[in-house]
Amino acid sequence: MIALLLILIPLLTGLISFFTKNEKAVRAWALFASLITLAVSIIGLTLLKDEKYLTFHAEWMSSIGSSFSIRLDGMGQLLCLLTALAYPLVLVATWNTSYRNSNNFFGLMLLAQAGLMGVFLAIDALLFYFFWELALIPMYFLCSQWGGERRIQVTFKFFIYTFIGSVLMLVGILYVYSHTPTRSFDITSFYSSRLSDPQQSFVFWLFFAAFAVKMPIFPFHTWQPDTYEQSPTATTMILSGVMVKMGVFGMLRWMMPVIPIAFYRWGDTTSLLAIVGMIYASLIALVQARSLWRTAHVAGAMSLEALMGTPVAFDPRIQDVRGQLGQAASAALLRELLADSEIRESHRTNDPRVQDAYALRCMPQVHGPVLDAIDFAAGVIGRELNAATDNPLVFENGELLSGGNFHGQSVAMVLDFLAIALTNLATISERRIDRLVHPDLNQGLPPFLTRDAGVNSGFMMAQVTAASLASECKVLSHPASVDTIPTDGNKEDVVPMAMSAAWKLRRVVRNVRYVLAIELMCAAQGLDCRAPLKPGRGAARGHAAVRGLVASLGRDRVLSPDIERLAAAIADDGWVSSMMVS
């Protein structure tokens, strides 16, 4: 009964949510339902351990050997608890987020939870497939209806990947079913199937392609970054926190016991795909990190001009006596961006300030080490790209040696290092944004960069958004490479968690891009207020590039489209290069 309740509660409450039109009521209803589901999951894990409470069986398409059979056991029990725990946390974390047609949003979220529970509980292959689809279909609508500006093209890509994966899985399920001794979809019948080696290999690739779509394995994962980025926050949290577990669970429950020979035979190949995916993600992150580093200097130079700061701290003599290469390169770039500034000349004399705050004065000391980290990571990843990571390795004399070159610890560590480094760009950028909007710190600029503060909020919530993103980066900067989970009968007892590091870095890169977009927007507004005085050449180019995409803020307007537009431009290295001093 416990197993059945874990599906019925979110399923029925989700259906009721569709008819609850009041936003506050449906939000509270969804939270209440998720808490009840969590309580049932905890009871099933701790109190009612008798199998009669954890198993449910009913007739369902018995003519073809399929039944409604579910069981709360093993890894499925823990994943059900994870799903039940994630939902109330997600709903509370996004409590103040408003959704149009909120009844549909929360209804679909709860239906997806019912599907996830079914995936982790089903012990009938056809029922497993049914719940797999029930989990995916609501996510498609959640992304397409409540996602970002690019949601349509992103959800189309999501649909194509998941549809192909689902078709391949169904073909695999039906093929195994046709080779079961009792013509049954029951899990024990699947475990008893008699498949030859070639047949197992055929089924392996059908199942692997389907499950790998839900896992970060190259090249089946490429829908994920865009979908995560464009989906509403609550949906992204479920996709990344729970739904990615579906693929791993499917492999362990429906692949390894059914096709053990093929699973063993193709294990090295799938490991190689994971390594390729890790390096692929690393290279993308490296390119984007360099672009972010240059953008941070343009944004910083524009902010310094808007705040009437001084470039004295960027004097080459200061950098030379320290001897840090990244710091010197950062200061040189800032000097170029700030050259020929009329704003600087307007307060060169009779300025009562002795020096600027760290967020302005110490840009080379903060931005510089980020460049050092990028260069170090480029060296490690470049060598890895040209490395032989097979196992075993065959040498010229024909000798075959088994080793561990496939181990991704070196890449995992530099990915964590990059996440930490880029988080510092977000942190210092957010502090500059705060100075731009703070009436006590912005050197006479309008409060929150709006002429009618109080009536208009200006960029107040933009700064709050930047602060939130910077804080999330700090959490994501916790290194994945210090963790390890033993696998493969404890032979793989120290694993690098490199792909986890890559995915965290991807999220950090995205967040930093948004923070810098907000700074560019605020700094451009500040420079508008300093007119007719002109900033330095590079800062002026940055200002013109921003104004080419985003208009100056008069009265309050929704800023998210402006932020999205600038963030997309930052991702375009050509746009960033156009702001550099020629």
Question: What are the beta bridge partners of residue 202?
Answer: none
ω into 392 cis (within 30 of 0): yes
DSSP string, 24-40: HHHHHHHHHHHHHHHHH
Q: Among 161-170, 237-246, 328-337, where is mean pLDDT lowest?
A: 237-246
For residue 26, what are the contacts with CB-CB under 8 A and spacing of at least 6? 17, 20, 102, 103, 106, 107
Output the domain CATH number for residue 329: 1.20.200.10
Same domain, 500 and 536: yes
Contacts 24+ apart (CB under 8 A), 544-553: 545/569, 545/575, 545/578, 545/579, 546/520, 546/521, 550/521, 550/524, 552/524, 552/525, 552/528, 553/449, 553/450, 553/458, 553/459, 553/525
DSSP calls for 406-450: T--HHHHHHHHHHHHHHHHHHHHHHHHHHHHH-TTTSTTPPGGG-
Helices and strands in the chain, H and E counts: 25, 4
Domain that holds residue 153: 2-265
Tokens of residue 429, six digits: 């950028």
Q: What is the mean pLDDT of residues 245-262?
A: 91
Beta carbons of 2 and 72 less than 8 angstroms apart: yes
Percent of the chain at pLDDT > 70 equals 99
508 with 411, same domain?
Answer: yes
Q: Kindly state whether residues 338 and 232 are assigned to the same domain.
A: no
Q: Quick check: is 273 in a domain?
A: no
Q: Exposed, middle or buried: residue 288 (CB in 10 Å: 0-12, 13-18, 19+)?
A: buried
3-state secondary structure of 214: coil
- Same domain (yes/no): 255, 330: no
pLDDT digits (tens, 9 = 90+) for 49-108: 777 778 999 988 989 999 999 999 888 999 999 999 999 999 998 898 889 999 999 999
Q: Residue 57's beta-bridge partner residues?
A: 69
Phi (first) and psi of residue 416, to 5 degrees:
-65, -40
Give the pLDDT mean for 533-545. Answer: 95
pLDDT at position 221:
74
Per-residue confidence band for 489, with pLDDT thresholds at 50, 70 and 90 = low
Q: Do 64 and 74 meet the contact criterion of CB atoms below 8 Å apart?
A: no
451 CB-near residues (< 8 Å, 6+ apart): 554
User: Residue 31 above 70 pLDDT?
Assistant: yes
Whether the per-residue pLDDT at 178 is higher than 90: the answer is yes
In a domain, 303, yes or no: yes
What does the pLDDT average to over 403-410? Answer: 87
pLDDT value, residue 90: 93
Beta-carbon contacts of 445 under 8 Å, excluding residues fewer than 6 positions away, are 306, 307, 436, 439, 526, 529
* Residues 214, 239 share a domain: yes
Whether 134 has a pLDDT exceeding 90, the answer reads yes
> Is there a domain that residue 272 lies in?
no
Q: What is the pLDDT of residue 463?
A: 96
Query: Is residue 475 domain-shared with residue 443, that is, in the same domain?
Result: yes
CA–CA distance, 329 with 491 (Å, rounded to integer): 46
On whether both 299 and 233 belong to a single domain, the answer is no
Q: For residue 532, say if its preceding peptide bond is cis, omega within 30 degrees of 0.
A: yes
CA 191 – CA 180 distance, rounded (Å): 8
Residues 358 and 454 in one domain: yes
Q: 3-state class of 229 per DSSP?
A: helix
Residue 197: how many CB atoms within 10 A of its CB?
A: 11
pLDDT category at 216 given cuts 50, 70, 90 is low
The answer to whether 129 and 165 have CB atoms below 8 angstroms apart is no
**Number of structural domains, the chain?**
2
pLDDT number for residue 313: 95
Cβ 267 vs Cβ 163: under 8 Å: no
- Kindly state whether residue 274 falls inside one of the protein's structural domains: no
Mean pLDDT of 305-330: 96
Residue 271 inside a domain? The answer is no
| Res 438 pLDDT > 80 | yes
Question: Distances in Å between the alpha carbon of 465 and those of 55, 360, 433, 502, 563?
Answer: 46, 21, 11, 24, 10
Predicted confidence band at 130 (pLDDT cuts at 50, 70, 90)?
very high
Please give the backbone phi and psi of residue 225, each rounded to the nearest 5 degrees, phi first: -55, -45
Directed axis angle between helix 2-17 and helix 74-93, to 10°? 30
From the list 206, 285, 343, 204, the residue with the least C-alpha distance to 571 is 285
Please, are residues 428 and 361 in contact by the beta-carbon 8 Å criterion? no
Identify whether residues 260 and 289 lie together within a single domain.
no
pLDDT for 268: 76
* DSSP bridge partners of 58: 68
Residues 298 and 247 in one domain: no
| Close Cβ partners of 111 (under 8 Å, ≥ 6 residues apart) | 10, 11, 14, 15, 134, 138
Instruction: Please write the tens of the pLDDT for every residue from 428-437.
Output: 999 999 999 9
Average pLDDT over residues 236-245: 87
**Residue 87 forms part of a structural domain:** yes
Of the residues 207, 240, 265, the one at which a domain ends: 265
Is residue 255 a contact partner of residue 207, using CB atoms and an 8 Å limit? yes
Q: If you average pLDDT over residues 329-351, what whole number do you get?
A: 93
Q: Are residues 512 and 553 in the same domain?
A: yes
Q: Are 297 and 240 part of one and the same domain?
A: no
Assess if residue 396 is contained within a domain.
yes
Average pLDDT of the residues in 207-232: 82
| CB-based contact 546:443 (threshold 8 Å) | no
Confidence (pLDDT) at 96:
85
pLDDT of residue 81: 94
| More confident site: 279 or 66 | 66
Last residue of a domain, one of 265, 293, 322: 265
Q: Are 66 and 126 in contact (CB under 8 A)?
A: yes
Q: Which of 76, 5, 91 is nearest to 40 (CA)?
A: 5
